[in-house]
Amino acid sequence: MTEPQIILGIDPGCTVTGYSILKKINQKISILDYGYLPLPAKKHLSIRIGIFYEFFIKKLDSFPEVTHIALETPFLHKNAQSFLKLGYLRGVLYLIANQRELGLFEFSPREVKLAVTGYGNASKEQVAKTLQLYFPNLTEQKKDDVTDAIAVSLCGAWSENAQG
């Protein structure tokens, strides 16, 4: 039996961040935890980054067996400021991965959709429905960020290419 792989998948956002923790032993994958972190939109970005950092430090303290972090890479929409702010949150996760000596996976939105549904342009609803097939006990999510985080975690569980 191989060592278990525990992946913390994160869909970072400046107002809502989705997360999930999956456990992979051999080829069996199960969900240990999932949810979202709301960040107060009216608070200064530095405060939101602090809340984000503290939340994931506490999450890792609660799940010390986590071996990897999986992230979805952002893509530049029309708003460069949002893209830049996501970079700050990603930097925090890079720091945490380094501090905790965790492997790091990164996947583009297209890679995640392709891996999970077999179609790189799948809708969020198609991703959610496919995840329901993988994890029948998964409750329907009110936030796409949670579904995205679960999908990113799953890609991490399927991947062999963690960056150290």
**Segment 83-135, tens digit of pLDDT:** 778 889 999 999 999 999 999 999 999 999 999 998 888 988 899 999 999 99
In a domain, residue 69? The reply is yes
Handedness of CA 48, 21, 129, 110 (dihedral sign): positive
CA-to-CA separations, 32 to 7, 49, 135, in angstroms, rounded: 10, 25, 11
CATH assignment of the domain containing 137? 3.30.420.10
**Would you please indicate which residues are annotated as catalytic (active-site) residues?**
11, 72, 145
Selection from 128, 156, 160 nearest residue 69 by Cα: 156
- Asked if residue 128 is part of any domain, the answer here is yes
Over residues 54-76, the pLDDT tens digits come to 999 999 999 999 999 999 887 66
- Could you tell me if residue 163 is inside a domain? no
Domain housing 91:
5-158
Percent of all residues in the chain with a pLDDT value above 70, rounded to a whole number: 93
Provide the number of structural domains found in the chain: 1
Asked if the structure places residue 41 within a domain, the reply is yes
Is residue 164 in some structural domain? no
> Tokens 């501090």 label which residue?
99
Domain membership of residue 87 (yes or no) is yes
Residue 13 falls within a domain, yes or no?
yes
Read off φ and ψ for residue 47, nearest 5 degrees.
Answer: -70, -45
- Decide: residue 138, CB within 10 A, 0-12 exposed, 13-18 middle, 19+ buried: middle
Residue 40 lies in a domain: yes
